[in-house]
Chain A
Amino acid sequence: MIKAGFIGFGRMGITHFSILNSHPDVEIVAVCDQSRMMLNILKKYLSVATYADYHQMMESESMDCIIISTPSDSHSEIIRTAVENNMHVFCEKPFCLNTEDGKRIVENINHKSLVNQVGYVNRFNEVFEEVKKLLEQNLIGDIRYFTSEMHGATVLKDSKSGWRSNRETGGGCLYDFGSHCIDLVVYLLGPPDRISGTILQSVYSSEVEDMVSSNFIYDNGIRGSVFINWSDETYRKPANIITLFGTHGKIIADKHAVKIYLKESQPQQNLNKGWNTRYITDFSKSVRMYVRGNEFTRQLDHFVSCISGNTLNNTIGFNEALKTDIIIKNIIIDANPDQVKNADSDSVLLTDMQPKAKPMWRKILNGRGVSL
């Protein structure tokens, strides 16, 4: 039995608890949260130990893994402590606000056999998994251009309270929505070599941005745009849309459907010349317990499977999630000419990321016949 502890019990913590509590190989032993009210309710209704201080929880409880769903600025410190205590770690996105912290954690964890995962849940959506497969099969040829968009109606007025309204604590549309949107690009195409033309724009918020647009430039010729808006009330739920334009066709995908345009038919894949549409109902896989979407269960079951040794490679470990943190940092720098002095050192960060990222990236792209 894998013993798990929870740190942070807001909306995501509660969702993760519901999913893991029903896992046959997991026993949740403790929960840590700053809300005394929440802890008292948990004490009354559930048989878990409760703590207001995670250090104390880690000292007192014997746990194999920890699920972190706290505000983003606390991630690095909690992860460091968990790793020191030899715990496997699942942490909500984004990984670390400070990329230097992130790099140190990645270096430390590489010396230990600890499973580490960040909650980039789009990687467990069956449609995006299908898009990844199609790209690896070189279906639409060399990618020339992409757009990655994320829209939602999360902020529809200026709210000065709460950590999401403060950049320092990981607030703003770029960290909150943008990290998902950018991770999807990293997942499908790898990280860019340069960022340019970034605009961070407010719609309602006075302290943080509500919209982001930025251009991603790759040395292999791929160009792309990222557009993020969390103040669009025409969307009922947050939605990711990715469009990939290649030399042999085009792919447009969201969480529910993928549209594929091909210049030539691909009979072996049952794809016609012209437009083809495949829906989530074609790929959807049932899960043992569905809470808010099966991708949430699939990501945590993947984490448990990695701990059990049934799955060897974690597809979204800290090393992979750090790429998105570094891209976000460079987007912020690109948007702020005042920080041009820092930009020099930070743009090196983006370049630094490539030697580590490129072997895997290069392998995938070479498989697709893309010349670098």
Chain B
Amino acid sequence: MIDRIILGDNQFFGINHMSEQKASALSEKFMDLRNILNVIDAAYDCGIRALMLNTNDRAKGICDYLRENSSRYSDFCLYPSMPYAHKYANSVAQKGIFTTIKETIISGNSFGDIIQLVTKGGSTLFEKDMIKVMQLLVDVEMKMFRGLQVKVIFLQNIVTDLLLGFCLKEIFMAFSDYVQSRYGIEAGFITMNMPRLLELLLESGMENPIVCSAINKSGYLMNPDIASYEAVLRKKSFRPIAMSIMASGAIVPEDAVRYVSAFPSIGSIVFGASSEHHLNETKQLIERYSGLKNNADRVCDS
């Protein structure tokens, strides 16, 4: 069961889709890991038990903290999203895609894995089996989560949407199969093109896929348009997770939560907050509107 409320992590890493100034201020605030951990502590104290975490370097420190405090965080679940594309962007620009992937795999895998890689053909492995390369990259990214509870492993939106444009449905299927077989965890997909991705996943035979996308009343980051999102949310069989519900601050929390709560199929909401006040406010709103929604459902059912 995916958590109803998941704390997002964009704010910790200086990501704000609306304003570079706000992003920079957040980045400054959360430069000190302690400030990130304080927010996670506050989230836990107000009853939030889930955190979406992109696999960047700062995430390692968060995972270390959760392991060190495993008794307190024993019921806390992580929802990793990978890869953190910006981590690789400069290396790709300077060294090229293959060198970057090779260096990542070699730096992140054990001696045995590397031997296996070399015996499988080294550089020609890329040509023979991109799926194997993807699996090795997943293993590298998953290392930081060892010993922690992970519920869903997400493919991050830059990669999801790039592959979507290529129509590489076999990679999506392979990602899903691999994380299930290797880690016993379901795969999820983050996208800025939810209706198009969903169509491809359902066509490929994926059942009830987990898709995380921006869902907000102003249609921000919802492509091709808000109407297509609303149509699939009402008609298609999948597990939607809503993010960017406040459109990076452009929508007031109550309006944001009310809009998302009107879609019964949305089982989970990811939201970012950087203060205890905002955490509590948003969590209470989600719970209040979830309750209203459930009451409304009951009225309809009766």
Which residues of A come within 8 Å of B, CB atoms?
10-11, 14-15, 17-19, 21-22, 35, 37-38, 40-41, 44-46, 153-156, 159, 161-162, 164-165, 234, 236-237, 239, 241, 254-257, 279-282, 284, 286-292, 294
Please state if A290 and B193 are interface contacts (CB–CB under 8 Å).
yes
Would you call B27 an interface residue if the criterion is a C-beta within 8 Å of the partner chain's C-beta atoms?
Answer: yes
In the assembled complex, 30 residue pairs joining A and B whose CB atoms fall closer than 8 Å, in A order, are A11-B92, A11-B93, A14-B162, A17-B165, A18-B161, A22-B196, A44-B127, A44-B130, A154-B93, A162-B94, A162-B95, A162-B96, A236-B14, A236-B23, A236-B86, A239-B20, A254-B21, A255-B20, A256-B23, A257-B19, A257-B20, A281-B218, A284-B221, A287-B223, A287-B224, A288-B223, A288-B224, A289-B196, A290-B223, A294-B223
Please name the residue on chain B nearest to A291 by beta carbon.
B161
A-B CB proximity, top 6 nearest: A18-B165, A281-B250, A290-B192, A40-B127, A290-B223, A254-B20
**B13 touches A (CB below 8 Å):** yes
Complex: A255 Cα to B14 Cα, angstroms: 15
Query: What residues of A have a CB within 8 angstroms of the CB of B167 in the complex?
Result: 21-22
* A210 → B minimal CB distance (Å): 13
Assembly CA distance A153 to B94 (angstroms): 12
Nearest-Cβ distance from residue A25 to partner chain B, whole angstroms: 15
Establish whether residues B95 and A22, one from each chain, have CB atoms under 8 Å apart when the complex forms: no
CB-defined contacts of B170 to chain A, threshold 8 Å: 45
For B23, list chain A residues within 8 Å (CB). Answer: 236, 256
Task: Say which residue of A15, A236, A279, A291 sits within 8 Å of B250 (CB atoms).
Answer: A279
Interface residues on B, range: 35 or more
Q: How far is the CA of A234 from the CA of B158 in the complex (A)?
A: 22
| Nearest CB on B from A311, distance (A) | 19
Interface residues of B in 138-171 (CB under 8 A from A): 158, 161-168, 170
A164 pairs with B94, CB closer than 8 A: yes
Cα–Cα distance between A237 and B18 once the two chains are bound (Å): 14
Q: Please give the distance in Å from A282's CB to the nearest CB on chain B.
A: 7
Taking the nearest CB of chain A, how far is it from the CB of B219, in angstroms? Answer: 6
Whether A22 and B126, one on each chain, are in contact in the complex, defined by CB atoms closer than 8 angstroms, is no
Beyond A257-B20, A292-B158, is A284–B223 a contact (Cβ under 8 Å)? no
Tell me if B223 and A164 are in contact (CB < 8 A): no
User: For B21, what are the chain A residues with a Cβ–Cβ distance below 8 Å?
Assistant: 254, 257
Bound Cα distance A280, B15 (Å): 14
Contact A289 B165 (CB under 8 A): yes
Residue of B with least CB distance to A44: B127
- B79-103 vs A, CB cutoff 8 Å, 1 = contact: the mask equals 0000000100110111111100000
* Interface-centre pick from A15, A155, A286, A289 (highest chain B CB count, 10 A): A286
Whether A35 contacts B98 by the Cβ 8 Å rule is: yes
- Which residues of the partner chain A approach B193 to less than 8 Å between Cβ atoms? 289-290
| B126 engages A37 (CB within 8 Å) | yes
Residues of A near B19 (CB, < 8 A) are 256-257, 279
As a 0/1 sequence over residues 177 to 207 of chain B, the CB contacts with chain A under 8 angstroms (1 = contact) are 0000000000000001100100000000000
**Cross-chain contact B17 with A280 (CB below 8 angstroms):** yes
B247 is an interface residue with CB less than 8 A from chain A: yes
A237 to B90, CA, bound (A): 10
Q: A256-B20, A290-B221 are in contact. Are A10 and B96 (CB under 8 A)?
A: yes
Contacts of B15 in A (CB 8 A): 236
Nearest to B224 among chain A residues (CB) is A288
- Encode contact with A along B240-257: 1 for CB under 8 Å, 0 otherwise: 000000011110000000
Q: In whole angstroms, how far apart are the Cα atoms of A256 and B167 in the complex?
A: 30
B123 at the interface (CB under 8 A from A): yes
Of A15, A41, A159, most buried by chain B (CB within 10 Å of CB) is: A41
The answer to whether the Cβ of B220 comes within 8 Å of any Cβ in the partner chain is: yes
State whether A41 touches B223 (Cβ < 8 A).
no
In the assembled complex, which residues on chain B have CB atoms less than 8 Å from the CB atom of A164? 93-94
Cα of A291 to Cα of B85 in the assembled complex, Å: 13
Residue B222, interface by CB 8 Å: yes
Given A22-B164, A162-B96, A280-B17; 20 other pairs, CB 8 A cutoff: A10-B92, A11-B92, A14-B97, A18-B161, A21-B166, A38-B98, A44-B130, A45-B130, A153-B90, A159-B94, A236-B15, A236-B27, A279-B248, A279-B250, A281-B250, A289-B223, A289-B224, A290-B161, A290-B192, A294-B223
Cα(A289)–Cα(B223), bound, Å = 6
Interface centre among B98, B166, B247, B250 (most CB of A within 10 A): B166
| Interface presence of B32 (CB below 8 A) | no
Residues of chain B with a CB closer than 8 A to A288's CB: 223-224
Interchain nearest-CB distance for B250 vs A (Å): 4
Measured in the bound complex, the distance between the Cα atoms of B163 and A292 in whole Å is 12
Q: Does B225 contact A (CB under 8 A)?
A: yes
Task: Write the chain A residue with the least CB distance to B167.
Answer: A21
Closest residue of A by beta carbon distance from B20: A254
User: Smallest CB–CB gap between B170 and chain A, Å?
Assistant: 8
- Structural contact, A37 and B98, CB atoms closer than 8 A: yes
Task: Give the CA-CA distance A161 to B93 in the complex, in Å.
Answer: 11
Q: A17-B166, A21-B166 are in contact. Are A161 and B18 (CB under 8 A)?
A: no
**Cα–Cα distance between A282 and B161 once the two chains are bound (Å):** 24
Instruction: Say yes or no: B162 contacts A41, CB within 8 Å.
Output: no
